[in-house]
Amino acid sequence: MPREYSLHQTRNIGIIAHIDAGKTTVSERILYYTGKKHKIGEVHEGAAEMDWMVQERERGVTITAAATTVFWQVPGEELVRINLIDTPGHIDFTAEVQRSLRVLDGGVVVFDGVAGVEPQSETVYHQAEKFSVPLIAFVNKMDRMGADFYADIASIHERLTPSARPIQLPIGAESNFKGIIDLFTRRATVYYDEMGKDMRDEDVPQDMKELVEKYRAELIEAIVEQDDKLMQQYLGGKEPPIEELKRVLRQAVIHNKIMPVFCGSALKNKGVQSLLDGICTYLPSPLDVPPLEGTIPDTDKKEIRKADDNEPFSALAFKIATDPFVGRLCYFRVYSGQLPAGSYILNTTTGNKERVSRIVRMHANQRDEINEVFAGDIAAIVGLKNTRTGDTLCDPDHPITLENIVFPEPVISIAVEPKTKIDQEKMGVVISKLVEEDPTFKVKVDENTGQTIISGMGEFHLEIIVDRLKREFKVDVNVGQPQVAYKETISQTVEIQGKYVHQSGGRGQYGDCWLRLEPLERGKGFEFVDEIKGGTIPREYIPAVKKGVIESMANGVLAGFPLVDMKVAVFDGSYHEVDSSEAAFKIAASRAIKEGTLKAKAVLLEPVMKIEVMVPEKFMGEIIGDLNSRRAQIQGTRTRGQMRVIDATVPLGEMFSYTTVLRSLTEGRGNSNLEFSNYAEVPMNVQNKIVEKGKSTIK
Angstrom distances, CA of residue 360 to CA of 341, 451, 464: 10, 39, 27
Query: Which among 21-29, 93-101, 429-437, 522-530 is the span making contact with Mg ion, rule CB under 5 A?
Result: 21-29
3-state helix, strand, coil split of the chain in percent (to 5) is: 30, 35, 35
Query: Which among 22-30, 254-262, 427-435, 448-456 is the span making contact with Mg ion, rule CB under 5 A?
Result: 22-30
Which listed option, Mg ion, ligand GTP, none, makes contact with residue 361 (CB within 5 to 8 Å by class)? none
CB 519 within 8 A of CB 491: yes
Of 61, 153, 254, 557, the one binding ligand GTP (CB under 6 A) is: 61
Q: How many residues bind ligand GTP (CB under 6 A)?
A: 25
C-beta of 24 vs 580, nearer to Mg ion: 24
Closest CB 675 distance from ligand GTP, rounded Å: 14
C-beta of 113 vs 240, nearer to ligand GTP: 113
Q: Does 19 bind ligand GTP (CB under 6 A)?
A: yes
Q: Does 515 bind ligand GTP (CB under 6 A)?
A: no
Closest CB 42 distance from Mg ion, rounded Å: 12
Q: Does 67 bind ligand GTP (CB under 6 A)?
A: no
599-628 burial by CB neighbour count: b if 16+ within 10 A, else e?
Answer: ebebbbbbbbbbbbbbbeeebeeebbebbe
Q: Does 421 bind ligand GTP (CB under 6 A)?
A: no
Secondary structure class of 616 (helix, strand, coil): strand
Q: Does 25 bind Mg ion (CB under 5 A)?
A: no
Angstrom distances, CA of residue 1 to CA of 186, 309, 370: 45, 12, 11
Nearest CA-CA partner of 565 in 606, 524, 509? 524
C-beta of 268 vs 363, nearer to ligand GTP: 268
Q: Does 143 bind ligand GTP (CB under 6 A)?
A: yes
Q: Is 38 exposed, middle or buried (0-12, 13-18, 19+ CB in 10 A)?
A: exposed
Site mask for Mg ion (CB under 5 A), range 36-65, x = bound: --------------------------x---
CB 400 within 8 A of CB 407: no
C-beta of 21 vs 412, nearer to ligand GTP: 21
C-beta of 168 vs 413, nearer to ligand GTP: 168
Closest CB 415 distance from Mg ion, rounded Å: 31
β-bridge partners, 452: 416, 445
Of 9, 14, 16, 20, the one binding ligand GTP (CB under 6 A) is: 20
| Phi, psi dihedrals of residue 359, rounded to the nearest 5° | -120, 135
Residues 6+ apart with CB under 8 A from 137: 108, 109, 110, 111, 156, 164, 259, 260, 261, 262
How many whole angstroms separate alpha carbon 137 and alpha carbon 134? Answer: 10
β-bridge partners, 518: 567
Which listed option, Mg ion, ligand GTP, none, makes contact with residue 266 (CB within 5 to 8 Å by class)? ligand GTP
Of 23, 178, 461, 468, the one binding Mg ion (CB under 5 A) is: 23
Q: Please provide the DSSP assignment of 313-355 as one string.
A: PEEEEEEEEEETTTEEEEEEEEEESEEETT-EEEETTTTEEEE
How many whole angstroms separate alpha carbon 346 and alpha carbon 355? Answer: 9
C-beta of 271 vs 286, nearer to ligand GTP: 271
Of 9, 10, 24, 274, the one binding Mg ion (CB under 5 A) is: 24
Of 22, 170, 196, 511, the one binding ligand GTP (CB under 6 A) is: 22
Query: Which among 140-148, 550-558, 585-593, 649-657 is the span making contact with ligand GTP, rule CB under 6 A?
Result: 140-148
Interaction residues for Mg ion, span 420-449 (CB under 5 A): none
Query: Which among 18-26, 125-133, 390-398, 499-507 is the span making contact with ligand GTP, rule CB under 6 A?
Result: 18-26
Closest CB 151 distance from ligand GTP, rounded Å: 16
Closest CB 96 distance from ligand GTP, rounded Å: 10
Q: CA torsion angle for 622, 624, 627, 628 (degrees, to 10)? A: -110
C-beta of 56 vs 308, nearer to ligand GTP: 56
- The residue with its CB nearest to ligand GTP is 89
Q: Does 144 bind ligand GTP (CB under 6 A)?
A: yes
Closest CB 457 distance from ligand GTP, rounded Å: 14
How many whole angstroms separate alpha carbon 352 and alpha carbon 147? Answer: 54
Secondary structure class of 699 (helix, strand, coil): coil
Q: How many residues bind Mg ion (CB under 5 A)?
A: 3
Of 30, 31, 40, 43, the one binding ligand GTP (CB under 6 A) is: 43
Q: Does 94 bind Mg ion (CB under 5 A)?
A: no
C-beta of 114 vs 602, nearer to ligand GTP: 114
How many whole angstroms separate alpha carbon 169 and alpha carbon 148? Answer: 11
Of 12, 30, 72, 88, the one binding ligand GTP (CB under 6 A) is: 88
| Phi, psi dihedrals of residue 500, rounded to the nearest 5° | -135, 105
The letter for the amino acid at 498 is G
Closest CB 111 distance from Mg ion, rounded Å: 14
The letter for the amino acid at 403 is E
Of 10, 24, 483, 555, the one binding ligand GTP (CB under 6 A) is: 24
Which listed option, ligand GTP, Mg ion, none, makes contact with residue 140 (CB within 5 to 8 Å by class)? ligand GTP
C-beta of 14 vs 88, nearer to ligand GTP: 88
How many whole angstroms separate alpha carbon 70 and alpha carbon 589? Answer: 58
Closest CB 13 distance from ligand GTP, rounded Å: 15
Residue 209, H or E segment? helix 209-224
168-191 burial by CB neighbour count: b if 16+ within 10 A, else e?
Answer: bbbbebeeebbbbbbbbeeebbbb
How many whole angstroms separate alpha carbon 272 and alpha carbon 474? Answer: 40
Q: Does 17 bind ligand GTP (CB under 6 A)?
A: yes
Query: Which among 74-82, 241-249, 264-272, 689-697 is the span making contact with ligand GTP, rule CB under 6 A?
Result: 264-272
Of 12, 34, 69, 140, the one binding ligand GTP (CB under 6 A) is: 140
Q: Does 25 bind ligand GTP (CB under 6 A)?
A: yes
How many whole angstroms separate alpha carbon 607 and alpha carbon 314? Answer: 38
How many whole angstroms separate alpha carbon 258 and alpha carbon 164? Answer: 6
Angstrom distances, CA of residue 385 to CA of 327, 329, 353, 354, 421: 10, 9, 10, 8, 28
Query: Which among 17-25, 96-104, 614-622, 676-684 is the span making contact with ligand GTP, rule CB under 6 A?
Result: 17-25
Site mask for ligand GTP (CB under 6 A), range 265-304, x = bound: xxxx------------------------------------
Of 9, 12, 34, 62, the one binding ligand GTP (CB under 6 A) is: 62
Of 81, 102, 141, 699, the one binding ligand GTP (CB under 6 A) is: 141
Angstrom distances, CA of residue 697 to CA of 29, 99, 417, 478, 481: 50, 36, 14, 16, 11
The span from the first CA to the last CA of the chain, in angstroms, equals 56
Q: Does 487 bind Mg ion (CB under 5 A)?
A: no
How many whole angstroms separate alpha carbon 535 and alpha carbon 415? Answer: 46
Residues forming contacts to ligand GTP in the complex (CB under 6 A) are: 17, 19-25, 42-44, 60-62, 88-90, 140-141, 143-144, 265-268
Residues forming contacts to Mg ion in the complex (CB under 5 A) are: 23-24, 62
